[in-house]
Amino acid sequence: MRISTLNQFGWLLKRRQRTAAFEENSASSTGPCTSDCAFTLVEIMIAITILTLVLAAIYSSWTAILRSSKVGLDAAASVQRARVAIRTIEESLGSAQIFVRNTPYYAFMANNGSDATLSFVARLDKFFPRAGKFGDLDVRRVTFSVEAAPDSGKELVLRQQALLMDLDKDEQNHPLVLAKNVKDFQMQFWDNRLNDWNDEWTQTNALPRLIMITLKVSDRADATRADEVITRIVAIPSMPVQPGWQLPMNMGGGLPPGATNNPGGNPTLPGGNPTFPGGNPGGKQPGIR
């Protein structure tokens, strides 16, 4: 009996030792991590710094791309505006007209300088800028002028008014802007007497045969030099209508250019008077009943 009790006590002791060893091993394997299995504060700060540098590099690259894209688009728009402005001036000069008898309405005026202006009367087509505003009033005075812009720069603007009508308030206050950031707008006129270009045109009752237009624009309003210089030489095909050509023949009017007077007193136009097959009925001139 005593031996059996000792054997049970020994078995319980061994079991208790095994349990203690198991708990010790479990505690060592699942207990708090040491420095080998965690990040220190310094490592976390270094990681955050690297992430910040990467984000800053990405942001700076993106803003540089946007900035360069905007600069390129602004430059392209400025060049396109300048070309459209020169094209508009060319088209209007190609249809310029003047009647000497009505010089106060048809005067050709041009002034160079910091606030250059060019004003004349032309018969404009239906595709000219703002033509829809004037309907069938194709004969209009067009005025190109360099004026101060809201952004402290200068811009080339266009105003139009129908002949024999005043300039309306909308056209005066809101002209059509043809070019922005204008650095210079110059005009030179060919003088047949001097056989050279002249900076002034004082003959308001005459049209120059040739006019050279130079437009200088920049990409920015604060730029000190022009980034684009466009020069065009425009030949004006029309000629002033003299006072005698505006009067009927029986009121002392002269012959139109190219016409000759025949003994019968009827002017012969260039190319001859039109005739009908079989002669003119009744011996009358065509168009007379």
- Using CA atoms of 168, 173, 177, 181 in order, give the dihedral in degrees to the nearest 10: 150
pLDDT for residue 107: 94
Q: Which two tokens stand for residue 132?
A: 């829809």
Q: Is residue 267 part of a domain?
A: no
Q: Is residue 8 part of a domain?
A: no
Query: How many other CB atoms sit within 10 Å of the CB of residue 129?
Result: 16
The dihedral sign for the CA sequence 94, 98, 105, 260: negative
pLDDT exceeds cutoff 80 at 19:
no
d(CA 22, CA 16): 10
pLDDT tens digits, one per residue of 228-242: 899 999 999 988 888
The residues near 199 (Cβ < 8 Å, ≥ 6 apart) are: 112, 186, 187, 188, 189
Percent of the chain with pLDDT over 90: 49
SS3 158: strand
What stretches of 57-153 adopt beta strand conformation (E)?
109-111, 117-123, 139-148
User: Of the candidates 143, 228, 142, which has an alpha carbon nearest to the alpha carbon of residue 181?
Assistant: 228
pLDDT for residue 244: 81
SS3 142: strand
Q: Are 180 and 155 in contact (CB under 8 A)?
A: yes
Pairing of strands 196-198, 176-179: unpaired
Q: Are 160 and 184 in contact (CB under 8 A)?
A: no
d(CA 249, CA 96): 26
Q: Is residue 133 part of a domain?
A: yes
Q: Is residue 275 part of a domain?
A: no
pLDDT for residue 8: 63
- Domain with 137, as residue range(s), is 72-235
Instruction: Report how many domains make up the chain.
Output: 1
d(CA 205, CA 102): 9
User: Of the candidates 114, 112, 107, which has an alpha carbon nearest to the alpha carbon of residue 198?
Assistant: 112
Q: Is residue 241 part of a domain?
A: no
pLDDT exceeds cutoff 70 at 250:
no
- Planar angle of CA 79, 64, 180, nearest 5 degrees: 25
What stretches of 154-209 adopt beta strand conformation (E)?
154-162, 176-179, 182-191, 196-198
Q: Is residue 134 part of a domain?
A: yes
Q: Is residue 146 part of a domain?
A: yes
Instruction: State pTM to two decimals.
Output: 0.66
pLDDT tens digits, one per residue of 35-76: 556 788 898 999 999 999 999 999 999 999 999 888 888 878
Residue type, 189: F
Q: Which two tokens stand for residue 197?
A: 């270009």
Residues forming a β-bridge with 205: none
pLDDT tens digits, one per residue of 95-137: 999 998 898 999 999 999 989 999 999 999 999 999 999 999 9
Q: Are 286 and 273 in contact (CB under 8 A)?
A: yes
